[in-house]
Amino acid sequence: MDVARRSLLIAAGGLVAAAACSEAVVARSAITGFKEAITTLFWVGEPANSENDFIPNSMSYWDKDWQTHYGGLDDPERRSGHWPAGFRPKENPFYVALPYGEFTEASSLKRRVRKIPWYSPGLSPLLKNRWVEIQLEGRSCFAQWQDVGPCGEDDFEFVFGNAPQPKNAFDAKAGLDVSPAAWDVLGMQDNAWTAWRFVDARDVPDGPWTEIVTTSGNNR
């Protein structure tokens, strides 16, 4: 089966993971801090092709050796529950990408980082490993921010400001990428609108997303 962000048939292993997810039925209108975005699939080791604007995922915005540090290819078709089949990942299999990165091309901090809610001088990593909650049709999943995208790294207004939609105009115009583990727990079968927000680590409930927590810093 040809797996792509645009369309993916859920595997049998995904049904197992979805059944194990934490299901929190919440009235979205009663929650503050959530944004909605078309959400697509990506994974550690995903090859560059037309479906992802020819962006390889053997490395991430913050980690040039991402696939090595993760422990291998996070294949969305070969799963063992919410983990990749064949190996225990060294980092959290629940991860996301959002379209903002804090560094300039010269690797200095962008000016607007001071407007990030948790910014403080010298904090490193500033964005990597941050927790995000994602909701879809009564299911709630938590994941760590491990890459920048989809298809953009300077959309401050969508990630931290008041913009209701991302600047991304490529393909599905997505504003959030999720890992195979998060995709399965949310019960996703194709690209879909989800709601997401940042959460503090102390507010993350126990679940499959806390079995392995990524703590590594920037490795650009």
**Which tens digits make up the pLDDT trace of 58-104?**
999 999 999 999 999 999 999 999 999 999 999 999 999 999 999 99
Per the prediction, the chain carries an average pLDDT of 87
Q: What is the pLDDT at residue 32?
A: 56
Three-state SS letters, the chain: CCCCCCECCCCHHHHHHHHCCCCCCCCHHHCCCCEEEEEEECCCCCCCCHHHCCCCCCCCCCECCHHHHHCCCCCCCCEECCEECCCCCCCCCCEEEECECCECCCCCECHHHHHCCCCCCCCCCCCCCCEEEEEECCEEEEEEEEEECCCCCECHHHHCCCCCCCCCCCCCCCCEEECHHHHHHCCCCECEEEEEEEECHHHCCCCHHHCCCCCCCCEC
Distances (CA, A) of 159 to 40, 109, 154: 16, 17, 9
- Which residue type is seen at 179? S
The structure's pTM equals 0.85
Q: What is the mean pLDDT of residues 48-65?
A: 81
Q: What is the mean pLDDT of residues 23-43?
A: 67
Tokens of 81: 């529950």
Q: Are strands 79-80 and 83-84 parallel, antiparallel or unpaired?
A: antiparallel
